[in-house]
Amino acid sequence: MAFPQLALQQMRQGRGLKTPDFNTIQIISTAIDEMGSPTDEQSALIKITLEGRRMNYPDRYDQEKLLALHMAKMKLEQVIGLLEMQ
């Protein structure tokens, strides 16, 4: 058996890289819901942050935290989308 077929057989058997179970996907979805959605003002700040505009310290720390939260939520939503394709 060629290695591509062996690799797929292993995945089908649940060996090595495998799809997480439904409960794990639900936990990720719960985290996304818990993060909420940005307000209009937060969305505007995220937009100008992505444009490279930065606030003065100490507010810059929270500005960067807001952007990081936004990026994390977007990536978690991408993860869910990829896992639902399974």
**For each of the chain's 86 residues, which pLDDT tens digit applies?**
699 999 999 999 999 998 899 999 999 999 999 999 999 999 999 999 999 999 999 999 999 999 999 999 999 999 999 998 76
Q: Match 């799809």 to its residue by tokens.
A: 19
Predicted pLDDT of residue 57: 96
- What pLDDT shows up at residue 86? 64
> What pTM was estimated for this model as a whole?
0.83
Residue-range domain boundaries for the chain: 38-86
Half-sphere exposure of 72 (CA within 13 A, CB side): 14
Q: What is the CA radius of gyration of the chain?
A: 19
| Cβ atoms < 10 Å from Cβ of 84 | 9
Task: Identify how many contiguous H helices and E strands the chain contains and give both numbers.
Answer: 4, 0
